[in-house]
Amino acid sequence: MSNAHSSALRHHFANLDQQKDSSVLGMWTFIVQEILFFGGLFLVYTIYRHEYFDVFEACSHHLDWKLGAANTVVLIFSSLTMAMGVHAAALGQKKATAAWLVLTIVLGSIFLGVKVVEYTEKFEHHLVPGPHFLPPEEAAHELKIQPSQTGQAQLYFSLYFAMTGLHAIHMIIGIPIILYLAWRSWHGAYTPAYHTPVELTGLYWHFVDIVWIFLFPLLYLIGHH
Amino acid sequence: MSAVVAAREPQLPKEHYLNADYGVRSWLFTIDHKRIALLYLASVTFMFFLGGMYAAAIRLELVTPPGDMFSSETYNKLFTGHGVLMVFFFLIPTIPGVLGNFLIPLMIGAKDLAFPRINLLSWYCYMAGAGFVLYALVEGGLDTGWTFYTPYSTSFSNTNVILAGVGIFFAGFSSILTGLNFIVTIHKMRAPGLTWFRLPLFVWAHYATSLIQILGTPVIAVTILLVALERGFHFGFFDPARGGDPILFQHLFWFYSHPAVYIMILPAMGVISELVACFSRKKIFGYGFVAGSSLAIAVLGFLVWAHHMFVSGLSVYASLIFSAISFLVAIPSAIKVFNWTATLYRGSVSWQTPMLYAVGFIGLFVIGGLTGLFLAALGLDVHVTDTYFIVAHFHYVMVGSVVMAYMGGLHFWWPKITGRHYPEWWARVSAVIIFVGFNLTFFPQFILGYLGMPRRYHYYPDEFQVLNVMSSAGASILAVGYMIPMVYFAWSMRYGRIATANPWPATGLEWQTASPPPTENFAVTPTVDEEVYDYTRPPKEPTFV
Ligand SMILES: [Cu+2]
């Protein structure tokens, strides 16, 4: 094993291979714990959707599925640009890597922007759970449910905000990291032999995108056939 | 004391991890796993004594039948503070954080854990969590019990639930990062020749523990988040008024908090395997079974959570299944106990302090484990749910067993950690005091519980007083037993007799380097060509100094 890039080799590893294997396994382990983290919410969702299907279906119609679908496309493209970034890094094209990463950030930001529009709309229509939620009569009219089902509608919107909010937080954490990688890449920090940070962040980003792939149909498309 | 007669007085190595650098900064920004282990040692010890003070207040109140020292509200805060501090800030992090951190790289012949900076980060997460919880306690405390049951915690308690929740969230993140680091380290950093079946059982146990930390802790994290959202932002996940289900909280909570017991006990079992082998001078009987039983406990541990909910309105069929699987956990647990006992058989057993703790562990664990079977049985569980029987049971397992193993391990590896011996006579005396004090504290509680004394009340009928006084008396003996090691450990760091590299002598790579080890752990990268726990050969001189 040549240690040509030994500046990237941390002191406690024998060689770059061992270092890279460790980092990749570490990232996968992290993703496993993320799956369990989101898993708790998906479980709560599953139970209440099963219990109160009608209400969930009615409330689901109140999300704008077109915005959701557009955002899904945006995120899939951001996964593509991320993958291109990793590919460019593996080839040692530092400027191309930076460009792909910046494009990923742009797409991620578009997604978050759309999310802001959607959240604002929920606030304006008093669909945020809590004391300011629509009173039962109005909720019944607005959401086409029984007045007595207002609490269950709040459950749906609680889940909507918790799940998409947690997902958005993961994106907000990812963006500055990708920005840092783009900057480092521009300055030539990554080589074909050592570009593990780009690869690992790519894994993370794909994971966050996949979470959305599940969230979109589960929240937006209940009852659409 | 040591069988090996040193030809000359042993001397501390010139350079080691403790004198590699000085000053506060060299500790707070260290990425050396050995130093981080000592950071953990200092912080968990502090939390242990703080939690102990809460326990002291509880036992004082319970000396007399009427509630004469504290109000009900204060008493609620006392047992909550005790539980939160002890469970999340002592029992869960202590053995992995201190002994695991120090020993795993040494045992596998690595220079450090795979991610030294993440290791430091996990200590900072722990400290941040501790900071939040201490703030919550100073701010007026918390009265939900360490279990945070909804809807009390979400809708009714007027205490610092969110603050404490944030603290536990951070502590959980610390635990996840530790587990992640151990998993990757054990997979990728083993020295040449150190195959999986040459790993010390301590490492196997920590591997199984890490799996639970990775798979269980995120669930409690998200559960705490949901409680915080409900309390702070009026989300409705567990609010029955809106169709939410408070029982769902219990499922999510115990999905982590039952396996959490194995986050505590598995590393303890790992310690005991090392001690029993060394002080019997024998290879552990049934090594493969002991290693495999750790994994079996980790897996089964995820399938039994609802045994905490037999009176929560679970369906009969669900209860039956959870009861049956809970019984199954006894099998891998018993495999370990039988194999330790079989190791003693025809071993040349010696009774230094670590071995006293090991045998004490086995005794307490057998009682704690067998009473666990009582509780897995549906009918009996209904009778003793929420009584002192439960309190006694989980203290035997979580405190008796885990702390015995922790203390045993701390004594065993103390010469490696500090390069000096603790005073053997004092150590044996305090080991006996702890064992006696512990049993006197908690055995009467089995009887109290069986007779029907409920937990979490600060007053009780007169006829329970004798047993309660016994318990409180035991607690004061226990306190003395825990205090003595504090004093002599501190004393020995400066004045203890200087230890050789392998004082016991024991197998395992950690004894093949200097005491205390250099920052890089080994002067030459170790290679392993012998089987694990090979006590048949005469002890060899440290090879990798
Ligand atoms: Cu349990």
What is the Cα–Cα distance from B106 to B34, expressed in whole angstroms?
9
Per-residue confidence band for B6, with pLDDT thresholds at 50, 70 and 90: very low
Cβ-Cβ contacts under 8 Å, B242 against chain A = 150-152, 154-155
Q: In the CATH scheme, what is the code of domain B35-512?
A: 1.20.210.10
Whole-structure pTM value: 0.94
Could you report the per-residue pLDDT of B190-231, keeping only the tens digit for each? 999 999 999 999 999 999 999 999 999 999 999 999 999 999
Could you report the per-residue pLDDT of B409-428, keeping only the tens digit for each? 999 999 999 999 999 999 99
Give residue B397 CA to ligand 1 midpoint distance, Å: 11
What is the Cα–Cα distance from B62 to B467, expressed in whole angstroms?
10
- From A36, A129, A161, residue closest to B218, measured CB to CB: A36
Give residue B218 CA to ligand 1 midpoint distance, Å: 18
- From A36, A52, A162, residue closest to B243, measured CB to CB: A52
Q: By the CB < 8 Å criterion, does A135 face chain B?
A: no
What is the Cα–Cα distance from B332 to A225, expressed in whole angstroms?
49
Helices B402-418, B353-376: axis angle to 10 degrees equals 150
pLDDT at residue number A207: 97
Q: By the CB < 8 Å criterion, does A37 face chain B?
A: yes
Element (H, E) at B59: helix B33-61
A and B: number of Cβ contacts within 8 A: 116
ipTM beyond 0.90? yes
Q: Name all domains of chain A by residue range, CATH numbers in brackets.
A: 13-224 (1.20.120.80)
Burial A210-220 (b: 16+ CB within 10 A, else e): ebbeebbebbb
pLDDT at residue number B8: 64
Optimal mutation site among A9, A35, A36, A132, interface B, most CBs of chain B within 10 A = A36
Q: By the CB < 8 Å criterion, does A18 face chain B?
A: yes
Could you report the per-residue pLDDT of B442-463, keeping only the tens digit for each? 999 999 999 999 999 999 999 9
Residues 6+ apart with CB under 8 A from B458: B61, B62, B67, B69, B70, B72, B75
Say whether pLDDT at A2 is over 50: no
CA distance B214 to chain A (A): 5
| Nearest residue of chain B to residue A25 (CA atoms) | B184
B242·A155 Cβ contact <8 A: yes
Domain assignments of chain B as residue spans, ordered by start: 35-512
